[in-house]
Structure 1
Amino acid sequence: MTVRFFSLHTVALLGGSALLLSGCGASSQNKKNAAKGPPQVGFVVVQPTSVPIVTELAGRTAAYQSSEVRPQVSGLILHRFFTEGALVRQGQPLYQIDPSLYRASANQAQANLASAAANAEATKAKAERYKPLADMEAVAKQDYTDATATARQAAAAVQQNRAALETAKINLRFTTVPAPITGRIGRSLFTEGALVTASQTSPLTTIQRLDPIYVDIQQASADLLRLRRALTSGGAVPTRADVRLKLEDGSDYGLTGDVEFSEVVVDPTTGTVTLRARFPNPKGLLLPGMFVRASFAQSIDTKAFLVPQQAVSRDPKGNATVFVVGPGNKAIQKTIVAPRTQGAFWVVTDGLSAGDKVITQGVGKVKPNQPIKPVSADTPQTIKAPTSDKSKG
């Protein structure tokens, strides 16, 4: 009997000890969960700001000035005075066309002028002599009238021959073909000894001014219409910003340009409007006909928000979302419109209101409508040293 009693007593003690240990463990876990509380998150208060609306479009370079050198008189080319591909100055001689015939024409026109001047002098003197005789009726008045008319015709002939001489001199001067503009000259399409004419369709060569240089940018008419509507509605204001270029190899050009003007018609074949920008090109890196990518700000959105990139996530449908601090310190998920980035921020054009507290820190441990402990994102965090299991026991 004594042995049995001892066994029951022992079982009772063991059972009581187990219950005490179990209660102690549950109490410890509850205290741990209570101490943990809602997750702490960092937030920033967003306000609408002015954000440039940056557009990136395809473009193609074009010469600032381009001139096709053509002959203005006919003849054989005697000399070429330039090196192909070199820089030529305005007025610099490029070709010499045989001037023999034109020099002879100028000399003939000079002689004709001298003859006309002599004849005019003689007829004028005759008319002057007839005048007193006609007054005395020593000669018929008709003879005086004829003499006066002949003198006037001779004076007109002098003017005609002077104009012919000037034309002959101009043609003689045209036998030396000058550079019409300053720029880089191309290859010569005609060699010495070639016959050229004033009415030919092919140019002798081409000169292009490459510094500065134009970039023709193509923008879809629908995008331009959307921009103009934004400007008229007050959601955006116009701006004049620098244009940046990205070359065909993906590198940045380095120098910036300005938009000169926009075409007033839409190309019916492409549905685009041409914008022309001007860039400095001191080293001649840009050549006419190159394809480039141009990025520039056409306007400024005055109602956009700049949200740090780490605060924005995407749902399975690809929609941009953020968490904001809602009433009662609960995490509220909002769907936003974030079409582009600017530096370390997303540009949000819809979905946020002024004064919203957007969660930027601890986003990964937040769920919709979950209680949170919000603090300012710039609040320093206190990191406690971890405690060992032995000290807990």
Structure 2
Amino acid sequence: MLYYRYYLKTTLVLLGLFILGSCGKKEQQAPPPLSAPFITITPKDVPIYKEFAGQTFGDLDIELTARVDGILTAIHFTEGQKVSKGQLLYSIDPLEYNTKVEQIKGQVASSQSALVNAEEELKRIKPLADMNAVSKRELDAAVARAKAAKSNLESVTATLKNQQLERSYCDIISPIDGVIGISNVRVGDYISRLGNNAKLNTVSRLSQVRVRFTISESEFLDYRKKVDLTAKKEQSNMELLLSDGSTHPYKGRLSLTDAKIDPTTGTMTIECIFPNPNNILRAGQFSKVRTMVENQHNAIAIPQKAVTEIQGIFQVLIIDKENKIQNRIVEVGQKVGKEWTILKGLQSGDRVAIVGSLMYQPGTVVTPVPYVEKENNTL
């Protein structure tokens, strides 16, 4: 009996210790509240930008076109490189035109001789006519021959100048300082003024470039209330976004706007100018022009990663006074950089949780932690 009582007491003590140990373990396994990065809403001025797809053009693009026919005998430049004003670019076989020039020079010489003879004859007859030694009729004939010889000389001289001009077209020179493109013809090709190969190349002045883009009629009516698009802007406040994602280092300015809306497309053409001192930009590039169209005062903007869209409904998670997560439906506005403007649903002082995990459900108690933006920040 004594042994039985001792065994029972020992068993009860061990059982009690086991229960107490189990309770301690359960208390230690209770997880602490999740940390929730947050920002406090503070209204601020938010510049609103608009991007437009555009295409670049040289400040001056001059197409080199053949003005005479003939065989292309030489190309005097390196494609894609800079050329200078007056530099010889192409040579067309001048033999035919040299021959014509020489022929006309012979006619000019003959006409000069005829004029000299006619004038000498007139000088000889005129004193005789004054003395009535020759008839008035002979004098009139001498005057007429002198005038005809002079007119003929002027005519062939003009023909010579025209022929020399045509001869000069065999040497095609650069009209400006610029960059020349890829040649459309090669040495040995027959060049024709009316053929498909009449267009030889293009020289572009690229010290600055023009960028043209279009806006819709509704965009024009909307933004004209905010920005005067019909007035030239001397300040440089436009940015050019290139196809590789980079931004052109020089800002541009508004150059011109079309005088009308194109009825076939319902759009209006806008042109702006960007400095291009290093010839980074070339004609024909596709890019985007970004310009500030409005500066919203006392606006609310939050990181885009804080906004969730479900079937067209936008919502954010906020942390209430009891440090619990709550859903809040909002109305969004423009995206500005990494932020999203909020038109309705938030107010100054609200704490917006910047979380991306499904563990943060409405009603979850969290530990608020001030959000710090980090490069390649992932949650």
TM-score between both structures, scaled by the size of structure 1: 0.63
Task: Give 3-state SS (helix, strand or coil) of 2:214's partner.
Answer: strand
Task: Give 3-state SS (helix, strand or coil) of 2:161's partner.
Answer: helix
Task: Give 3-state SS (helix, strand or coil) of 1:61's partner.
Answer: strand
Kept in 2: contact 1:239–1:297 (CA 8 A)? no
CA distance in 1, matches of 2:352, 2:200: 70
CA distance in 1, matches of 2:227, 2:81: 47
CA distance in 2, matches of 1:313, 1:200: 61
> Structure 1 residues 80 and 201, CA, compared in 2 at 3 Å: closer, same or farther?
same
CA distance in 1, matches of 2:299, 2:191: 66
Q: What is the CA-CA distance between 1:346 and the residue it aligns to?
A: 7.7
Residue of structure 2 in register with 1:359 after alignment: 348
Task: Give 3-state SS (helix, strand or coil) of 1:204's partner.
Answer: strand
Q: What is the CA-CA distance between 1:43 and the residue it aligns to?
A: 9.4
Q: What is the CA-CA distance between 1:293 and the residue it aligns to?
A: 2.0
| Correspondences of 1:1-393 after superposition (within 5 Å) | 54-202=49-197, 203-229=199-225, 240-298=235-293, 304-307=297-300, 309=302, 339-340=333-334, 359-360=348-349
Residue by residue over 1:305-342, the C-alpha shift from the partner in whole angstroms, topping out at 9 and shown as x without a partner, is: 344659x9999996999xxxxxxxxxxxxx99873366
Q: What is the CA-CA distance between 1:139 and the residue it aligns to?
A: 1.6
CA distance in 2, matches of 1:276, 1:267: 15
Q: What is the CA-CA distance between 1:141 and the residue it aligns to?
A: 0.9
- Paired positions, count: 296
Kept in 2: contact 1:308–1:360 (CA 8 A)? no
Residue by residue over 1:135-178, the C-alpha shift from the partner in whole angstroms, topping out at 9 and shown as x without a partner, is: 33222112111111111111111111211221222222222111
Structure 1, unaligned stretches of length 5 or more? 1-41, 233-237, 322-334, 352-357, 365-393
Kept in 1: contact 2:70–2:191 (CA 8 A)? yes
Task: Give 3-state SS (helix, strand or coil) of 2:281's partner.
Answer: coil
Q: What is the CA-CA distance between 1:210 and the residue it aligns to?
A: 3.3
* Greater Cα offset, 151-160 or 259-268: 259-268
The amino acid of 1:340's aligned partner reads: Q
> Structure 1 residues 134 and 171, CA, compared in 2 at 3 Å: closer, same or farther?
same
Task: Give 3-state SS (helix, strand or coil) of 2:349's partner.
Answer: strand
Task: Give 3-state SS (helix, strand or coil) of 2:128's partner.
Answer: helix
CA distance in 1, matches of 2:299, 2:339: 6
CA distance in 1, matches of 2:247, 2:41: 36
Q: What is the CA-CA distance between 1:118 and the residue it aligns to?
A: 1.5
Kept in 1: contact 2:234–2:254 (CA 8 A)? no
> Structure 1 residues 338 and 101, CA, compared in 2 at 3 Å: closer, same or farther?
same
Task: Give 3-state SS (helix, strand or coil) of 2:203's partner.
Answer: strand
CA RMSD of aligned residues (A): 3.8
CA distance in 1, matches of 2:352, 2:66: 75
Kept in 2: contact 1:240–1:297 (CA 8 A)? no
Residue by residue over 1:8-62, the C-alpha shift from the partner in whole angstroms, topping out at 9 and shown as x without a partner, is: xxxxxxxxxxxxxxxxxxxxxxxxxxxxxxxxxx997x89x8x755322222222
Structure 2, unaligned stretches of length 5 or more? 1-39, 317-328, 354-379
Residue of structure 1 in register with 2:17 after alignment: none
CA distance in 2, matches of 1:340, 1:189: 46
CA distance in 2, matches of 1:115, 1:141: 28
The amino acid of 2:184's aligned partner reads: L
> Structure 1 residues 268 and 195, CA, compared in 2 at 3 Å: closer, same or farther?
same
Q: What is the CA-CA distance between 1:114 and the residue it aligns to?
A: 1.7
> Structure 1 residues 153 and 320, CA, compared in 2 at 3 Å: closer, same or farther?
farther
